[in-house]
Each structure stands twice: as C-alpha cells, then as structure tokens.
Structure 1
Amino acid sequence: MVASTWEWLRRKKPLVDAFFALPVLLMSLPSLLNDAYGIEKWQLGLLTVVLTGPLVLRRTYPRTVFAAVVAISGVQCLLGVIPVPANVAVLAGLYTVTAGRTVRWGVGALLIAVAGAGMATYRYPSGGDDRRLAFITLMVLVSGVYVLGLHMRTRRAYLRSVEERAERLERERDNEVKVAMAAERARIARELHDVVAHNVSVIVVQADGASYAIDTDVGRARQALEAISSTGRTALAEMRRLLGVLRENDDAGAFAPQPGVAQLDDLVEQVRASGLAVAYEVDGTPAAMSEGRQLTVYRIVQEALTNTLKHGGPRVTVSVRLRYAEDALEIRVDDDGRGAAAADDGRGHGLAGMRERVAVYGGTVRAAPRPGGGFEVIARIPVHEEVAA
C-alpha cells in the first residue's frame, strides 16, 4: 500500500510540488496585512502569487521556473520593492536546478543567485556594517542551498547506480540459473543415453533368443517376448523424456556406467570416511525401478550429502531415509547443521539441478532449512509409469 502510494506520488510531480509550495504561500500571508513594503496590498498579493505559483512546476521545468522567479525578483529589486517572504522561491529554484540538472547548470544557477544577493544587498539602503552582515547572511543561505542540492544530486545518482547494479545482478543470476538448468538437462540427456542404449540392447538379445527358441521351446520364447514387452515400455518411457531434453554435442563420458540405488551404500560409506556421521535406512520393500529413476535417487542423495558437507558445519550428523510406498519412493535427508544460518554465495546450482531431475519423472522435491535448525531435503518420485498404447 505504501509502495504503491509512493509510486503514484512520484508520477504526480506538480501535485507534490504544489504541496511543498503551500508553506511558502502560508508564510507570505501575514505580510499581506503589513504596510511596510511600500506597495498596495493587491500588488503585494500579486507578487506573492507570481513568485510562488511557478514552484508548482519546479521539478517538471526546473530551469524555466528558476529563470522566471529570478526575473521577477530582479524586476522587484529594480523597482525598489522590499524583499517579501515569497522571494524564498529563488532558493527553491536554485536547489531544484542543482539537484536535478548537471553540475554546469547548478554552477550557473549559483552564480546567478550570488549576483542577485549582491544586487539586493547594495540596492536597498542600510549602514555599512548592516550591509556587510546582510550580504554574508545571503551568501550563507545561497551556498547552503547549493551544497544541499549538490548533495541530493550525488545521493540520487548513487541510489540509481545501486538500483541498476541490483537489477543487473538479478539478470545475471537468472541467466546463470538458466545456464545451469540447460547444463543439467544436457547431463541428464547423456545419462539417459546409457539407459536407453541398455534397454535396446536387452531387446535385441531377447529377440534373438526368441527367434532361436520359438521352434524348440515355446515357453522360453514366450518369456523372451514378455521381457521384450516390458523392456520396450521402459525404453519408450525414457525416450519420451529424452525427446524433451536438449542435449549438448558432447559425448564425453557417454559410455560410463551410471550409479543407482544399489550404490547408495557405497556412497554413504564414502561420506562416512570423510568424517560425516551418516545414518542410512530403508523402509518398505524396494520396488523395481528404471535405471533413470535409480540414477535420480542416487544424485538427489549425493547432492544432499554434498550440501551438508559444504554448509552443515562441524560435528554435524545427517540421516538418509528411503521409504518405498506402493506407487512412489520418498527420499528424506535431514541434518542438524547450520541450516538457514549457513553462508550462501548464491552461485550454487545443485538444488536447481535436483528439481530438474525430479521433474523429469513427474515427482516433487522440497529443500529448505528446518524450523528447529538444520536442513532437510524431501523428494517424492513415482516408481511406475504407464505408457499409452
């Protein structure tokens, strides 16, 4: 509410400027009851209006408004009319030009204001000491307003640079996340290549066996055909995902074996050897899963343990739990480390890659600090997928 109101006011410059010009007008009202200015009251009122009126547009047309109030004050001085409270509009114009325009325009406005102060000092009769005091007073006012305007100009330029830098960093961060997601998709594509190639190889072997056994052992041939059907469905499901992933032209490591659920024991032992206390348990009956799903499970646990090693702090303990349900596998990795207090440079992409992997199989993942301290990763991955005929 406050932010929206502020944005609306920033777009209504004349309205805001009129609000700030109102005190000048109110300050001039008592002078209308005073006969010490040597002019008629209606003339004094007209002078007050023509001096304060342009301030409504002081930020919209700062140089024009400053020139107008300076010209009016100059004519007033030439006619011998005593300065009125509304002449403070000259200082308001000086501040606006200095704060809103270039340094050159600010210096020019300062010189004009100094000349006006000198002109006003020697135009109106007074004693020598009084004249010097009046001139010094006017110079202090003019210099103070100029310095204030220069400070506000510098401050606004600094704030604009900070906002631009924040926007640039935000764009760079978004680009880094996109690059990380693209790289993760490419890595997933390379890993799925192994899975699909394995399934196709199994189909070829089973088909060759069925062709040899179809005349001599019908039962064995039927088993081979059932294996072909099951493996084909799995391969088709993997291919459907593979078509949606852009793969980089990089075959490095394409034939390296990929880890699965069975390798989690080795991973846990490896992490324990590094000094991290890890508790590992499996609930439920392990379901048969495709190699791609097993690889995703392995990578999720690996990334969660890596984050604990990097950010958990000393003497941290972590628990890894796999719970098999009828249709899904739940992965839960909890630690009692620093949690939300852990330092983060904003350049890690492990969590983004984790979400990408789980999304490939239609699962969900949640990674966040725990309320009581520590960090938790909870992922749910479907273990089966039906392929439309």
Structure 2
Amino acid sequence: MSTLHPAPPRGPQAPVVPPSRLSIWLDVAVGALVALLCLTGGPVPSLVGDLLFACAIVFRTIRPLVGVALATLGGLVLLVVADVPTFGLVAVPLVTYAVARWSPRVLHYVTGGILAAAAIAGPLRWFGVSNPAAFLVISFTCLVTVAAAYAFGLVLRAMAISRATRARAQAEQVRHQAIQRESELRFNTAAERARIARELHDIVAHSLAVIVVQAEGAKAIAARKPELAVQTLDTIAAASRESLAEMRQMVRLLRGEEGQDADYLPTASLADIDELVERTGNATLTVNGVATPTSPAVELAAYRIVQEALTNVIKHGGPDARAEVSITHHPGLIELVISDNGRGAATTSDGMGNGIRGMGERVQLHGGRLETGPRPGGGFVVRAHLPKAGPAR
C-alpha cells in the first residue's frame, strides 16, 4: 500500500499572508470617512485631490499599485491647487504602510522615491518661502512619519514571512517524517517476509529431503529386510510430524497466537542438532569446547544453518555421501563446520536454490561470517562463525 505525500508549493520567496477581509472593509470605511470629512469643509479646488487620497486608502491593500497611483495623482493635484495642507494627506502614511506590507519589493523603491519627493515638495510649496522654519519642521515631520509607516510595514511583512516559512518548514518536516515512517514500514515488512521465507525454506526443504531419501531407501529394502523398512517409515513419520509441528508453530506466530496452544514448541537450539543429525541418517556430530550461555536467536540460526547444510548434502551429495558436523565453542563465538564427501559443487543445479543465500543472510543478521565452497579431495564444506551474543545494537 502506498501513500502519496504531495510536496508543498515552492517559490523564490516564502508567501506573504494576504490582508484579511476585515482589514479591507476597514480601509473602505476609513476611505469613506476621509471623503466625507473632505466634503464637509475645505477649499473646493483641493476637493479632487482629497477624494483621490480617499480612493487611495480604499485600494491600498487590495491593489497597492493603484493606491500609489491615486495617492501620487492626489498629491500632484493638491500641490498645484492647494495653498495649505488638507485632511486628505492622512492617506500618505497609510498607503506607505500598505505598500511596505503587501506590495512586491520593486514597488517599494518607486513609492519611496515618490514619497520622499512629496515630503519635501509639499512643505516647500506651502511654507518654504514665507516661513523657512516651519518648512524645516514640517518636512522633517513628514519624512519621519512616512519612514515610520514604511518601517512598520516592513517589520510586519518580515514577521509574516517568518511565520509562513516556519509553517512551511514544519509541514515539510511532517511530510518527510511520514515518508520515513512509510519507508521503515516497507523495510520492516520486507525483512519479515525474508525471515519467514528463510524459515519456510529451512523447514520444508530439509523435511522433504529426508522424507524422499528415507522413502527411496525403504522402497529398496522393503522386500529383503521388512524390519528395516518399518524403521525407515518411522523416521519418515517422525520427520513429517516435526515439520508439521514447526509449520503450525509458524502459522500461530504469524497470527499472533503464540502461547495460546498447549502444543506450542520451543525454538530449536544447539541441543536439538544431535537429533537433527541422527534423523538425517548420513551424518555424524562432534562437539568441541565448553558450551557457554548463547542467545536463543543465535542458537536457532546455528540449528538452521546445520539443517540447510545437511539438506544440501542429501539433495546434491549423491547416494553415498556422508557428512561430518562439527560444533566448536570458542570464547564468545560458535564455529560450525559441515563437510561432506559427495559431489558437492560438481552436482547439477537448476539455479533456483536459496539455501546458501539463506545461510548467508542468517549469519550476516547476527554479525557473523560464512564461508562455503568445494573441499580439497572432493565434497563440499560450509563454515560459519556466529557471535554468541549476536550483533551489537
């Protein structure tokens, strides 16, 4: 099952939160109020400029470029026809703030130049000749007011960009975490499937190989030595029962029913290798060294490696092949050697076997080492080294 995780939209700059509907309606109300105040008083020639300023307030957030154009046009009208400042000039800092807050950056420079020129041209037109001191004070006040509005807009813009960037980064992090969780789930699922496949291969392949060999032997001696044929059939029955029990155990584990059945069997261990070798019928076992506590998982891996190696002897070694199994306990290490005198690597194979690969996976899983290959003088040898405690986590 696959889950799609669409990536968030990308752009050269983090998105700026657009103005809210409330702020737009507030601009409309302020623009209407400025227009009404201008209509109730003031010289008639300056009325057109004031109305243009009122319209600039209305458009300052939804269309900043239109707001700048209307404010510029209104300022030019007042510069020509008005002899004194009018109430409509309150639109200048409001438009300046809106441009800095919501407009593209290229519009900032155009607006800054226009407003800087207006902050000097207006006071010069109204106070420059008759009252130089008033010109300086008014010019400085206009510049400070416009600069403060511009800076306030830039600060809020930067805060909005920062919030949007953090939100985008968090969304990206959540997306990557979801992808990572899905990848880990797929990896764990694949690893579990591989483990189940190894277990099924080891259980079924060995049991069937023993059953086939013993059945052929029973068929050959049934007429001449019936008592041996009966003994062979008992071996076949025992191998079949054990294989069936292991299969049932695996099914219970897959269903999560371990511990619910009285027939639950313990995991195979080093102690079970003796019975495994005896049941195979063509192998001998030698144990060297002193056994020390070993991880149950490592003991199961050792059992499966011996089981698979003996299965290969039965399948590929030939009818007269004999195997020797050696278990040597070293400090912190188990050494397994399974060798035979059969055809070994010279046998014909269909290329579909998974035995050696499965042994390699088991050894690698526990941090060990596996060596396989033809034995000098004929036959095949499997040598495995397994740390008793398993790999360091």
Given the two structures, how large is their TM-score scaled by the length of structure 2?
0.49
Structure 1 length normalisation: TM-score? 0.50
Greater radius of gyration (CA): 2
